């Protein structure tokens, strides 16, 4: 009983707030309201732009080298509204918002159709859905009561008075009264427009208020009434043909007036159909059914298609008029590994598999596949390296950070991101692996298997199939084994971070003294000695710094660290890429043998047993495994990593 009351209270409360907040009054009262709040009068593009913008904008750090390279020096803003849901799409979102902004200021864009063009699963529909949802949360708007297209009440003002009212109210008035309201004004209110009732409402796609979606239609079923409404045949007997009362204004342009009209896979429609779209953008008018006047239309027209549809449409010169009205934004796949990974984290988090155990590196390995499948080979570096460079990772070669310019790589691969493995393909592989698992867990090992299976079954193009299988069975497999080897070794080293840091400190002390030709002073005993050449060499060998290269390396490290310290930045063993790599390799090498022996051994002595259980608990407590996944990767490591030894 108590519970029931609780429900009822909630329901009532929500209903009451809705009721009290919504405006209802005459046009005269509405004029007063506009005088006080002129900003409530807005055209569709502006409302949409401001709704999204008002959630907050940040400017990405353009000084950061990585961002500068990824975005080709462009200034990039991030919009809080999209931030939690879209990853690696900053460029696309910036273009979309630039379009809305210019359109809001009544640039040519307000008379254009926005077209998102890109490969399957690149996020086009998701982005448009999100934009539509923004509108559903937008401030409510005012309209003439009973108007089938919920038009702006200011349309009531006769042309001759508009200049005066614009001055008094401080707003711009655009658009003409629709035939239905005009008829009502004359018959019901005897032309006294100040008495016309005005109401307030919000946007709703399901309620068909201000948001309309036009699905693609084949030539046979295509009927322009889907866009502009019809005449109600039953009423044709009652009224003359040109009487607005016969109109049934429920087409997409009627429903989407003041908000958004979305065309799904726009070029699948017949050309005649698209001409209505053209008139709507260009003239801001749509035909009305039967013999009535054109109707004023104010809305944002959004559409999407894939590349082959676009190319086909573009190749016909009869389509030029339409192409001229289209602002195309390319929506490529994500090419940055860490961003791609966030997509799957997001989708899994929303799915029924939310509680499943996902072993470390699983989504990374899956994302490696989709990203690499999208990359064009380059002769500047191999595919894996290219992926890492795009991801902002430092590539160490012969003791130096390898300098490959992202911009050079992008310049030679203009079409990159428009083809390859889609997000949906990866999701299906993850789903399949999760459904097959009997302990509610997935690991990189069974996800790679699942992806291989899916490539074999679903990729028809033989060349692509071969290329994808090579990425999975060779490149990713080897990279994962490397990751695994490091991780297991790390788990064998107790207090890994501290050990690495202390190696770093002593390397830095020695290298500094070596470079400045001074002696190393023991901090406690104050004893002095020469720099430890043997120790430095052991570290340097890890990254193949030998012979005459040593002096340069020691110099570089010392100079780098001191310039950082001078700037007041803290330094640790991760500060300088090449040295970090060397230290990690050193530590890993030091435990490699014991790691292999202890892991593979069937009968462990007491010391080994302890090492083994300690390692397992590090994997679980610090690296995010559970018992089954730890066991699975260790078995895999025994069978693959250390097979030859």
122 binds, among ligand ATP, Mg ion, none (CB under 5 to 8 A by kind): ligand ATP
Which run of H or E residues covers position 162?
A: helix 159-169
- Strand ranges, E, within 258-356: 260-263, 285-286, 295-296, 300-305, 326-330
Query: Considering the complex, what minimum distance in angstroms separates the CB of residue 336 from ligand ATP?
Result: 10
Query: Considering the complex, what minimum distance in angstroms separates the CB of residue 171 from ligand ATP?
Result: 37
Looking at the DSSP assignment, which residues form a beta bridge with residue 198?
25, 144
428: closest CA among 353, 480, 336, 338?
Answer: 353
121 binds, among Mg ion, ligand ATP, none (CB under 5 to 8 A by kind): ligand ATP
Q: Which is nearer to Mg ion, 118 or 244 (CB)?
A: 118
Query: Considering the complex, what minimum distance in angstroms separates the CB of residue 344 from ligand ATP?
Result: 9
Spatial contact of 172 and 104, defined as CB atoms under 8 Å apart? no
Crossing angle of helices 362-374 and 423-436, rounded to 10°: 150
Q: Which is nearer to ligand ATP, 422 or 506 (CB)?
A: 422
Q: Which is nearer to Mg ion, 304 or 325 (CB)?
A: 304
Angstrom distance (rounded) from CA 428 to CA 414: 28
The single residue listed with the structure tokens 């004023």 is 296
306 binds, among ligand ATP, Mg ion, none (CB under 5 to 8 A by kind): ligand ATP
Q: How far is CA 107 from CA 349, 423, 505, in A?
A: 40, 35, 60
Q: How far apart are the first and last CA of the chain?
A: 71
Q: Which is nearer to ligand ATP, 306 or 538 (CB)?
A: 306
Query: Considering the complex, what minimum distance in angstroms separates the CB of residue 375 from ligand ATP?
Result: 16
Q: Which two tokens stand for residue 95?
A: 């273009």
Binding segment for Mg ion (CB under 5 A), chosen from 119-127, 224-232, 280-288, 573-581, is 119-127
Binding footprint of Mg ion, residue count (CB under 5 A): 1
Q: Which two tokens stand for residue 284?
A: 């801001």
The phi-psi region of residue 229 (left if phi > 0; otherwise alpha if psi is between -120 and 50; otherwise beta) is left
Q: Which is nearer to ligand ATP, 276 or 339 (CB)?
A: 339
339: closest CA among 388, 414, 391?
Answer: 391
Spatial contact of 422 and 121, defined as CB atoms under 8 Å apart? yes
Q: Which is nearer to ligand ATP, 83 or 140 (CB)?
A: 83
456 binds, among ligand ATP, Mg ion, none (CB under 5 to 8 A by kind): none
Query: Considering the complex, what minimum distance in angstroms separates the CB of residue 347 from ligand ATP?
Result: 5
Contacts of residues 267-274 at CB distance under 8 Å and 24 or more positions apart, as own/partner, are: 267/305, 267/309, 267/310, 267/312, 267/313, 268/216, 268/217, 268/305, 268/309, 269/214, 269/216, 269/217, 269/222, 270/219, 270/222, 271/318, 271/319, 271/322, 272/224, 273/217, 273/222, 273/224, 273/227, 274/322
Where on the chain is the footprint of ligand ATP (CB under 6 A)?
A: 86-89, 118, 120-126, 306, 334, 343, 347, 423-424
Q: Which is nearer to ligand ATP, 87 or 390 (CB)?
A: 87
273 binds, among Mg ion, ligand ATP, none (CB under 5 to 8 A by kind): none
157 binds, among Mg ion, ligand ATP, none (CB under 5 to 8 A by kind): none
3-state secondary structure of 175: coil
Helix runs in 78-146, H state only: 80-83, 90-104, 124-136
126 binds, among ligand ATP, Mg ion, none (CB under 5 to 8 A by kind): ligand ATP
213 binds, among ligand ATP, Mg ion, none (CB under 5 to 8 A by kind): none
Q: Which of 40, 91, 125, 422 binds Mg ion (CB under 5 A)?
A: 125
Angstrom distance (rounded) from CA 82 to CA 139: 18
Query: Considering the complex, what minimum distance in angstroms separates the CB of residue 340 from ligand ATP?
Result: 8
Binding segment for Mg ion (CB under 5 A), chosen from 48-56, 68-76, 125-133, 172-180, is 125-133
Binding segment for Mg ion (CB under 5 A), chosen from 120-128, 129-137, 391-399, 530-538, is 120-128
CA 304 remoteness from chain centre: 16
Q: Are strands 113-117 and 326-330 parallel, antiparallel or unpaired?
A: parallel
Query: Considering the complex, what minimum distance in angstroms separates the CB of residue 122 from Mg ion?
Result: 9
Query: Considering the complex, what minimum distance in angstroms separates the CB of residue 501 from ligand ATP?
Result: 37
Query: Considering the complex, what minimum distance in angstroms separates the CB of residue 115 from Mg ion?
Result: 13
Q: Which is nearer to ligand ATP, 95 or 285 (CB)?
A: 95
Q: Which is nearer to ligand ATP, 87 or 625 (CB)?
A: 87
| Site membership for Mg ion, residue 422 (CB under 5 A) | no
What are the residues binding Mg ion (CB under 5 A)? 125
């Amino acid at each position: 009983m108590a519970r029931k009351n609780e429900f009822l209270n909630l329901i009532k409360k929500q209903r009451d707030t809705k009721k009290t907040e919504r405006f209802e009054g005459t046009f005269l009262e509405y004029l007063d309201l506009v005088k006080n709040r002129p900003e409530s009068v807005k055209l569709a593009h502006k409302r949409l732009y401001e709704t999204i913008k008002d959630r907050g904008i940040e400017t990405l750090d353009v000084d950061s080298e990585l961002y500068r390279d990824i975005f080709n020096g462009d200034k990039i803003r991030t919009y809080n509204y999209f931030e939690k849901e879209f990853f690696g799409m900053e460029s696309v979102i910036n273009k979309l918002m630039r379009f809305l902004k210019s359109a809001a200021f009544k640039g040519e864009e307000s008379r254009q159709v926005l077209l998102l063009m890109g490969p399957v699963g690149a996020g086009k529909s998701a982005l448009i859905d999100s934009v539509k949802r923004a509108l559903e949360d937008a401030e409510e708007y005012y309209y003439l009561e009973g108007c089938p297209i919920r038009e702006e009440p200011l349309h009531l003002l006769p042309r001759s008075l508009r200049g005066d009212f614009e001055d008094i109210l401080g707003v711009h008035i655009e658009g003409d009264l629709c035939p239905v309201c005009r008829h009502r004004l004359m018959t019901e209110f005897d032309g006294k427009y100040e008495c016309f009732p005005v109401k307030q409402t919000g946007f709703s796609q399901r309620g068909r208020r201000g948001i309309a979606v036009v699905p693609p239609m084949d030539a046979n079923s295509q009927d322009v009434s889907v866009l502009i409404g019809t005449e109600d045949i039953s009423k044709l007997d009652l009224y003359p043909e040109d009487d607005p009362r016969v109109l049934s204004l429920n087409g997409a342009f009627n429903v989407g007036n003041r908000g958004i009209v979305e065309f799904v896979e726009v070029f699948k429609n017949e050309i005649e159909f698209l001409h209505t779209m053209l008139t709507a953008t260009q003239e801001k008018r749509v035909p009305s059914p039967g013999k009535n006047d054109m109707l004023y239309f104010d809305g944002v027209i959004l559409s999407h298609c894939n590349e082959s549809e676009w190319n086909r449409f573009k190749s016909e010169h009869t389509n030029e008029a339409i192409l001229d009205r289209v602002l195309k934004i390319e929506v490529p796949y994500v090419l940055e590994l860490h961003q791609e990974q966030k997509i799957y984290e997001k989708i899994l988090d929303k799915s029924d598999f939310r509680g499943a155990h996902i072993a470390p590196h699983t989504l990374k390995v899956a994302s490696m596949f989709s990203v690499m499948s999208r990359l064009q080979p380059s002769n500047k570096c191999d595919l894996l390296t290219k992926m890492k460079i795009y991801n902002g990772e430092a590539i160490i070669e012969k003791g130096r950070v390898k300098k490959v310019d992202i911009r050079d790589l992008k310049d030679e691969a203009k079409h990159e991101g428009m083809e390859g493995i889609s997000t949906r393909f990866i999701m299906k592989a993850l789903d399949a692996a999760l459904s097959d698992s009997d302990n509610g867990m997935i690991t990189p090992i069974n996800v790679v298997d699942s992806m291989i299976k899916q490539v074999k079954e679903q990729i028809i193009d033989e060349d692509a199939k071969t290329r994808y299988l090579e990425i999975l069975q060779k490149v990713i497999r080897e990279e994962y084994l490397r990751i695994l080897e490091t991780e297991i070794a790390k788990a064998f080293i107790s207090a890994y971070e501290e050990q690495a840091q202390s190696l770093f400190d002593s390397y830095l002390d020695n290298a500094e003294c070596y470079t400045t030709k001074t002696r190393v002073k023991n901090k406690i005993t104050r004893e002095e000695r020469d720099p430890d050449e043997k120790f430095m060499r052991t570290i340097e060998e890890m990254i193949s710094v030998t012979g005459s290269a040593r002096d340069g390396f020691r110099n570089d490290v010392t100079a780098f660290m001191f310039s950082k310290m001078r700037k007041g930045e803290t330094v640790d063993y991760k500060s300088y890429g090449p040295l970090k790599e060397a230290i990690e390799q050193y530590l890993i090498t030091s435990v490699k043998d014991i790691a292999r022996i202890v892991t593979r051994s069937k009968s462990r002595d007491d010391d080994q047993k302890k090492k083994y259980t300690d390692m397992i608990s590090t994997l679980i407590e610090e690296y995010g495994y559970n018992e089954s996944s730890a066991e699975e990767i260790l078995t895999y490591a025994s069978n693959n990593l250390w097979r030859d030894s």
